[in-house]
Amino acid sequence: MKRNKKRLSLISCCFVLLICQAGFCEVKLPRLISDGMILQRGVGANIWGRADEGEVVTVKFNGKTYNAITGANGKWAVTLCELKAGGPYSMEIRGSNHITLKDILIGEVWVCSGQSNMDLPMDRVKYRYPEVIAGSENKAIRQFFVPRKYDFKAPQEDFESGEWVSANPESVLKFTAVGYFFARELFEKYHVPIGLISSSLGGSPAEAWMSEDALKAFPDHLETARKFKDDAYRNGIIDKDKAVSDAWYKLMDRKDEGLNGPKMWFDNSYDASGWETMDVPGYWADQGLGSINGAVWFRKEFDVPASIAGREAKLWLGRVVDSDTTYVNGKFVGSVSYQYPPRIYDVPEGLLKAGKNVVVVRVVNNTGRGGFFEDKPYELTVGKETIDLKGKWQYKLGAVMDPLPGRTFVEWQPLGLHNGMLAPLLNYTIKGVIWYQGESNTGRPAEYQKLFPAMIADWREKWEQGEFPFLYVQLANFMRAKDQPSESNWAQLREAQLKTLAVKNTAMAVIIDIGEWNDIHPLNKQDVGRRLALAAQKIAYGDKRIVHSGPIYRSMKIEGNKIIVTFTNIGRGLAAKGGRELKSFAIAGADGKFVWAKAKIELNKVVVWSDEVAEPVAVRYAWADNPEGANLYNIEGLPASPFRTDK
């Protein structure tokens, strides 16, 4: 294994001297080296810290002693000999002071990174997986949550906070959901401790996670990163964005009649008899108000039977664009400030009454189409009783505003997250990485074909652990399905991810069958984690028997008016899920116009044709934002990756 270039010497397999920063009178450790940590088995795991120049630091662990002398710049490090899974152990570290670390396990360490679909915690999916959460007690599955921070000036050496936390029904709610399900699968398979380092940020593009060295191949991103190094430039943007946003919301609140009349519109005694009606769920641009921005109030009366009056309840309001403030019988029950999280509000005991009740929602939309997402639950639940809230709601316009100007997301700019959230990890010995990202790069899919492999190479170079496994998730199906073949940035981004399989020791989890057309954050994270775990078994653990992937396009051959397509990763054979007819295939002739095609499986190949195309030249499969109905799988139940044969 390639060792850290910063080390000056190595005595046996364990002694390391590093030259770094000085000026520390006693031994200090980074946040990662702490109680409850999980160390990587099978290799020499790194332990490092700070102390005064020339200080001898002794590390005792698992029956062995390691010594280091602190360098001129105040850093020391040792590399533990190869470790076997087990624990818990203690570690003694002595210099001018004495530190005892407790409850240390040896197992597998995986970095979980990307954007919001990796960041999304178990708390967001708790209503889908209540039994999983209830049974999550496991001291052998632990997470270190990396605090969110960006830095454009220099790679950071440590985090401001962070600790290793083992899974239980309370703590697991803060675990990355994809990461937890991944760890759960691996633990059940191998019965060794699994450590997750959760370092992700919603909305982040790939270039935010790349070092300055790697960005040199992408001059535009490098120039952006250099601009954001300047405090005045960066702070000027932040201050301006905040001032614009604060002024917009302040003006809206001042203009909103629902907040400034003789009686608040959420007041239970307010007379709303003159309000018009609108269907919920739905968007007001489609129902009379038009494409306005600002505040719109919605009101729904519903009857509660005496049998459930006064009991605690949950109010489900799907998803709202953009923000909402919600009241039941005049009492505030919840608010969410942006469109993505589901609205699930607790209605306290004693608030519901027998007979007529009222829910009022103030919706603020700052740009685009405001309203309520379709195909989401809109209901009140009390135990097993459900009151449907879909249908006609009263509404009244509170305030009309010009669209809020878009802000610059400083935290998403190139380099910042690499320095702030990745660099402090680079000394920690890991097994590999799981990555779920790409949504924020769909506007530039061609660039992603170079950017993503470059990011992987950058991480491997900086970690200096060789070509460690890098497992990633292909984009899910999203947005409304289209009735005709068409171009798609999401499909092109998936293609870039598919091509990244050419990078050694990578694998891809295909999830075009478990997304949600109306939610960029689909709730099914269990299957995502399971498919990543299959990839780990194959790539990281060398299980040659495992089928870790669905069919991957290999080649095509034209025979008359048909195209014969072959695949790798067919497992025990190809299958058309849900019936014999394959869907989501399109075919084109020399004119490049794609039409829906017929397709069937023959001898583990797919034959594609259309009566409209006499001389076909190209095939596409699942080439869409949302390839609804795509059903080519292998018998093992894993979906085929979308692909195209045309350039």
pLDDT, residue 579, reads 82
Angstrom distance (rounded) from CA 486 to CA 249: 39
Mean pLDDT computed over 290-297: 96
For the cut 50, the answer to whether the pLDDT of residue 7 exceeds it is no
| Residue 153's pLDDT band (cuts 50, 70, 90) | very high
For the cut 50, the answer to whether the pLDDT of residue 9 exceeds it is no
pLDDT, residue 421, reads 98
Average model confidence (pLDDT) across the chain: 95
| Residue 11's pLDDT band (cuts 50, 70, 90) | very low
For the cut 90, the answer to whether the pLDDT of residue 427 exceeds it is yes
For the cut 70, the answer to whether the pLDDT of residue 126 exceeds it is yes
pLDDT (tens digit, 9 = 90+) per residue, 576-608?
A: 999 879 999 999 999 999 999 999 999 999 999
| HEC readout, 288-320 | CCCCCEEEEEEEEEEEECCCCCCCCEEEEECCE
pLDDT (tens digit, 9 = 90+) per residue, 504-530?
A: 999 999 999 999 999 999 999 999 999
Residue identified by tokens 């039941």 is 328
For the cut 60, the answer to whether the pLDDT of residue 16 exceeds it is no
**Is the model more confident about 490 or about 580?**
490
DSSP state of 156: -
For the cut 80, the answer to whether the pLDDT of residue 22 exceeds it is no
Angstrom distance (rounded) from CA 261 to CA 587: 61
Residues in the chain: 647
φ, ψ at 621 (rounded to 5°): -130, 130
Mean pLDDT computed over 273-282: 97
Q: Which residues lie closer than 8 Å to 267 by C-beta, 6 or more apart?
A: 330
| Residue 38's pLDDT band (cuts 50, 70, 90) | very high
For the cut 50, the answer to whether the pLDDT of residue 403 exceeds it is yes
**Percentage of the chain surpassing pLDDT 90?**
96
Give buried/exposed letters for 207-221 (b at 16+ CB in 10 A, else e). bbbbbbebbeebeeb
Angstrom distance (rounded) from CA 587 to CA 594: 5
Q: Could you tell me if 536 and 432 are in contact, meaning their C-beta atoms sit under 8 angstroms apart?
A: yes
Domains of the chain plus CATH, in order, are 257-401 (2.60.120.260), 552-644 (no CATH)
pLDDT, residue 25, reads 67
pLDDT, residue 647, reads 81
pLDDT, residue 580, reads 78
Structure tokens given for 585: 């295939």
Mean pLDDT computed over 175-195: 98
| Residue 639's pLDDT band (cuts 50, 70, 90) | very high
